[in-house]
Structure 1
Amino acid sequence: MRLTTMIFLAAAALSGNALAADPAIDISRAFARASAPGQPSAAVYLTIKNNGAVADKLLRISTPIAASAELHTMSMTDHVMKMREVTDVAIAANTTLTMTPGAGYHVMLTGLKQALVEGQAVPLQLTFDRAGVVDVQIKIDALTTAY
């Protein structure tokens, strides 16, 4: 076999492995409650499914409708809610991370530039370590929606 053919085949094999190792991220059920008049912040919840064979990390979130979007975790200790910003969220291979009201992770939007209006959808951009940028639409539910 000629050297150039061997180099081409080796490069193709490496390229195929690199593509196969990149996880497939699916985002679903992205939602938030409508905001009350003058409300400066809102929480967003969503489901992230890592269909890949390699772990990934959610590193950043942004949206044009808020001054900032942060990853937060919430916990209850002695009937006191504690909310903390986290720098990233790991999503193991072949797993699903579900952000729900009342526990665990959520996205905190602060400095809302517009009201979140029931029935509308607003953009959210998620940046992952391996999968890159994923754009989603947040469905805005009624302010009184129970989850």
Structure 2
Amino acid sequence: MSLKTTLFATLAAVTLAMPAFAEGTIKVDDAYARSSGKTAKAGAAFMMIQNLGDADDRLVGVTSDAAARVELHTHKVDDNGVAKMVHVEEGFAIPAGETHMLKRGGDHVMFMGLTEPFEQDAMVPVTLIFEKAGEVEIEIPVDLERQDMGGHGSHSN
């Protein structure tokens, strides 16, 4: 085998192994989605995102066929004390070795223009897009009955 062939084979093997390795640096726990009812046009998802890697990463986007538009949102309080949801275009930093909470009343995934109502125990397919780890596909269970638990704050939607 020539040096060129050996290098090409090695490069191909490393390239194919990278997504699995990169994906393994991100762990998602305690995910759930909810909406305010069967006629709701919007919903939200919450979760704990752990960066198990040695390098900082950033959640920069999210996609799902569950809604016409899916964005990363947070709550901001204005000078009058009124909280409102805003799109976070730059995403959320996930420092190496740390956990970032997407929780009610804070950072979360927002679904706008739901394609179907969120029904209890249904699964919502979501792709989280990270700056370094790339795409991480997850299935998020719908839990319309969940109360404020596990460090998730309050969220009105």
Q: Aligning the two structures, in what range does the TM-score lie when normalised by the shorter sequence?
A: 0.7 to 0.9
Greater CA radius of gyration, 1 or 2?
1
> Whose strand proportion is higher, 1 or 2?
1
Please state whether the residue corresponding to 2:103 is helix, strand or coil.
coil
Contact 1:59 1:129 in 2 (8 A): yes
Q: Deviation string for 1:12-62 (max 9, x for gaps)? A: 9xx7xxx7x957011111111254122110111111100111001111101
The aligned residue for residue 94 of structure 2 is 91
- Cα deviation for residue 92 of structure 1 reads 0.7
Q: TM-score, normalised by structure 2?
A: 0.74
Q: Distance in 1 between matches of 2:35 and 2:43?
A: 8
**Per-residue displacement from partner, 1:73-117 (whole Å, max 9, x unpaired)?**
113454411211111111111100011112x20011000000100
Alpha-carbon distance in 2 for matches of 1:41, 1:114:
10
Name the CA distance, whole Å, in 1 between partners of 2:38 and 2:125. 20
1:46-85 equivalent positions in 2, closer than 5 A: 46-77=47-78, 78-85=80-87
Distance in 2 (CA, whole Å) between partners of 1:26 and 1:138 is 13
SS at match of 1:141: coil
Pick which of 89-98 and 33-42 moved more: 33-42
Percent identical across equivalent pairs? 31
Amino acid of the structure 1 residue aligned with 2:33? A
Count how many residue pairs are aligned between Structure 1 and Structure 2. 131
Instruction: Give the SS at the match of 2:44.
Output: strand
Distance 1:42 1:34, change over 3 A: closer
Alignment match, 1:122: 124
Q: Which runs of 4+ in 1 moved over 4 A?
A: none
The residue identity in structure 2 corresponding to 1:127 is I
Q: What letter matches 1:30 in structure 2? A: A
Q: Partners in 2 of 1:34 and 1:105 — Cα distance? A: 16
Secondary structure, aligned partner of 2:72: strand
Code of the aligned partner of 2:104: P
> Alignment RMSD, CA only?
2.2
